[in-house]
Structure 1
Amino acid sequence: MSDLIIDRGRPGVVAVAFNRPERRNAFTQAMYAQMRELWHELADDRSVRVVVLRGEGGKAFAAGNEISDFLEADAVEYETWIREMLDGLLALPQVTIAAIDGVCVGGGLAVATNADLRVATSSSRFGYPIARTLGNALSSPVLYRCAAVFGESLTREMLLASRLVTADRAYAAGALTAEVPDRAALDAEVDALVDGILQASPVTLRVTKQQLRRRAAITETAPADEEPLLREVYGGPDFAEGVRAFLAKEKPAFGG
Structure 2
Amino acid sequence: MPDETAAFADAAETADLLIHRDRMAPGVLEVTFNRPERRNAFTQGMYQQMLDLFTDLAGDRSVRVVVLRGAGGKAFAAGNEISDFLAADPVDYENWIREMFERLWALPQVTIAAIDGVCVGGGLAVATHCDLRVATTASRFGYPIARTLGNALSGTVLYRCQSIFGESLTREMLLASRLIGADRAYGVGALVAAVDDVAALDAEVLALVEGISQASTATLETTKTQLRVRATRAEASMPNEEAILREVYGGADFAEGVRAFLAKEKPAFGR
| 2:30 counterpart SS class | strand
Q: Which runs of 5+ in 2 are unaligned?
A: 1-13
The residue that corresponds to 2:238 in the other structure is 223
Give the distance between the partners of 1:219 and 1:197, measured in 2 at CA.
28
Partner of 1:251: 266
User: In 2, distance between residues paired with 1:3 and 1:228?
Assistant: 33
C-alpha distance in structure 1 between counterparts of 2:71 and 2:135, whole Å = 14
Q: What's the counterpart of residue 43 of structure 1?
A: 58
Task: Tell me by how many angstroms 1:119 deviates.
Answer: 0.1
Q: Shift of residue 173 of structure 1?
A: 0.6
Percent identity over paired residues: 75
TM-score scaled by length of structure 1: 0.99
User: Are residue 136 (structure 1) and residue 151 (structure 2) matched?
Assistant: yes
Aligned pair partner of 1:201 in 205, 211, 216: 216
Shift of 1:44: 1.0
Aligned mates of 1:196, 1:23 — CA distance in 2? 34
Match of 1:210 among 225, 243, 249: 225
1:219 and 1:4 mapped to 2: Cα distance? 32
Unaligned runs of 5+ in 1: none
User: 1 CA distance for matches of 2:208 and 2:262?
Assistant: 39
1:78 aligns with 93
Query: In structure 2, what is the Cα distance between the partners aligned to 1:82 and 1:157?
Result: 24
Secondary structure in 2 matching 1:151: helix
Letter in 2 for 1:192: A
Per the alignment, residue 36 of structure 2 pairs with 21
Q: How does 1:55-134 map to 2 (within 5 A)?
A: 55-134=70-149
Once the two structures are superposed, residues 204-238 of structure 1 have per-residue CA deviations (whole angstroms, 9 ceiling, x without a partner) of: 00000000000111011112311000000000000
The answer for the alignment partner of 2:205 in structure 1 is: 190
In the alignment, the residues of structure 2 paired with residue 90 and residue 216 of structure 1 have an alpha-carbon distance, to the nearest angstrom, of 11
Structure 2 counterpart of 1:203, one-letter code: A
Whole-Å separation in 2 of the counterparts to 1:221 and 1:85: 17
When the two chains are superposed, the root-mean-square deviation of aligned CA atoms in Å is 0.6
Amino acid at match of 2:111: T
- Once the two structures are superposed, residues 58-100 of structure 1 have per-residue CA deviations (whole angstroms, 9 ceiling, x without a partner) of 0000000000000001000000111110001000000000000
Are 1:242 and 2:260 counterparts?
no
Quote the residue 1:7 is aligned against.
Answer: 20
d(CA) in 2 for partners of 1:159 and 1:224? 21
Question: Deviation at 1:245?
Answer: 0.1
Amino acid at match of 2:199: A
Q: Which amino acid aligns with 2:15?
A: S
Letter in 2 for 1:55: G
Rounded to whole Å, the distance in 1 between the matches of 2:26 and 2:185 is: 31
The normalised TM-score by structure 2 is 0.94
Counterpart of 2:243 in structure 1: which amino acid?
Answer: P
Matched, 1:152 2:181: no
The equivalent of 1:32 in structure 2 is 47
